[in-house]
Amino acid sequence: VLDDAIVDCRGQGTYYVRVNNPSATTCTTYELTVDVLPPVFDPDPEPNNSLGQATLLPIATPLDGQVNFLTYTDNADNYRLETPDDGILNFTLEAEHRGSSPGTLTVTLLNSSGGLLNSYTGVPVGASSIPVTTQLSSLCRGDGLYYLRIDNASCGTSYRLSYTITDPLYAEDLEENDAPTQADTVAAGVDHEGRLDFFYDDNSDYYRLILPSDGILNITVNAEHAGTSTGETLTAHVLNSSGGLVQSHSVNIGANGNPIMTDLATSCLGTEQLYYLRFFNPTACGVSYQFNYGVTPPLYADDLEENDGTSQSDTVAASI
């Protein structure tokens, strides 16, 4: 008589098999064969059951893992991400188990202190050893340290995990520029780029303007965020040399990575004074922007300075 038995979800380790004689009066002979059917994906490096033991997950480098195999192994795997840039974290997870019904697992994204950022529950696990692929994303993430945990998995789950970053449309500004004393000096007629409110990053950027002429300061700003919400804005302040407010503007932010252009105008500015431009307080996280500025000069040219008192007055000829 040929018979077999399958025991799923067993972890690596030592087991014992007992064979009992079915008859008290008759001898029984038998042949016993034990095979191990491995999961689709290889085991992860252990131990990685806590944040302090987390396995480094390099960007764009798939790693395999196994979770919730009974008896000898763990039911949680932790990974460390050292992201090189701001943007959207894109996770790709393939997962399967031998069971005939689909299963699930949970993916949790944590900050460097272990605080919760995103929790993805009910991530599908394919049945009958056929992996199911799931794409997960987390917006507004700045470069830095993160942790990713896989747990609450169906019995005997194996998986393959990787991640990439979708960069914002515009490049990072030169930090530190979070105060007037740290402001980046930017020239007129040149595109300048920056970012606001990515996780771990700042929410305020200052620039020192060099006006080429008296007149109307014209600033063109393109701004976007990766989220789907529309009607988002940020605030732009033109400040004098003492940091006092000259004019406040509202700048539109485009959704889905599509920038919206906003033109700003501030009248009656002169070259005799230093001005600052501040971008801050976006209503959406993960904003990138580009700006350019110039000056519309008055119709008539400037007089010869200094001529602010009688002792400094310019001598001018008649009929000229």
pLDDT digits (tens, 9 = 90+) for 54-73: 999 999 999 999 999 987 76
- Taking the C-alpha atoms of residue 133 and residue 92, their distance in angstroms, rounded to an integer, is 7
pLDDT band, residue 303 (cuts 50/70/90): confident
Q: What is the mean pLDDT of residues 11-34?
A: 88
167, 196, 227 - which closes a domain:
167
Question: Total domain count for the chain?
Answer: 2
The answer on 93 and 17 residing in a single domain is yes
CB atoms within 10 A of CB 198: 23
The answer on 52 and 96 residing in a single domain is yes
167, 196, 218 - which closes a domain:
167
**pLDDT for 96-119, tens place per residue?**
999 999 999 999 999 999 999 999
Structure tokens at 29: 């002979």
* Residue of 197, 224, 229 lying closest to 289 (CA atoms): 224
Structure tokens at 194: 């920056």
- Taking the C-alpha atoms of residue 183 and residue 176, their distance in angstroms, rounded to an integer, is 8
The answer on 219 and 158 residing in a single domain is no
**pLDDT for 203-250, tens place per residue?**
999 999 999 999 999 999 999 999 999 999 999 999 999 999 999 999
**Residue 192 falls within a domain, yes or no?**
yes
* Residue of 285, 258, 257 lying closest to 201 (CA atoms): 285
Q: Read off the amino acid at residue 93.
A: L
Domain that holds residue 54: 1-167
**Residue 270 falls within a domain, yes or no?**
yes
**Residue 320 falls within a domain, yes or no?**
no
Strand partners, 204: 280
User: What dihedral angle (degrees, nearest 10) is formed by the CA atoms of 19, 23, 24, 28?
Assistant: -60
The answer on 135 and 202 residing in a single domain is no
**Residue 127 falls within a domain, yes or no?**
yes
- Taking the C-alpha atoms of residue 154 and residue 125, their distance in angstroms, rounded to an integer, is 8
**Residue 312 falls within a domain, yes or no?**
no
The answer on 247 and 104 residing in a single domain is no
Task: Sort 303 into a burial class: Cβ within 10 Å, 0-12 / 13-18 / 19+.
Answer: exposed
The answer on 221 and 108 residing in a single domain is no
To the nearest whole percent, how much of the chain has pLDDT over 90? 80
Structure tokens at 265: 């105008």
The answer on 200 and 133 residing in a single domain is no
The answer on 161 and 189 residing in a single domain is no
The answer on 47 and 123 residing in a single domain is yes
Whether the Cβ atoms of residue 38 and residue 62 lie closer than 8 Å to each other? no
To the nearest whole percent, how much of the chain has pLDDT over 70? 99
The answer on 219 and 133 residing in a single domain is no
- Taking the C-alpha atoms of residue 67 and residue 140, their distance in angstroms, rounded to an integer, is 29
The answer on 186 and 49 residing in a single domain is no
**Residue 30 falls within a domain, yes or no?**
yes
The answer on 68 and 23 residing in a single domain is yes
**Residue 19 falls within a domain, yes or no?**
yes
CATH number at 94 reads 2.60.120.380
Whether the Cβ atoms of residue 86 and residue 141 lie closer than 8 Å to each other? yes
Which residues contact residue 161 at a Cβ distance below 8 angstroms, ignoring those fewer than 6 apart? 57, 62, 63, 64, 65, 79, 91, 92, 93, 148, 150
The pTM score is: 0.89
**Residue 191 falls within a domain, yes or no?**
yes
* Residue of 125, 161, 130 lying closest to 42 (CA atoms): 161
* pLDDT value of residue 314: 81
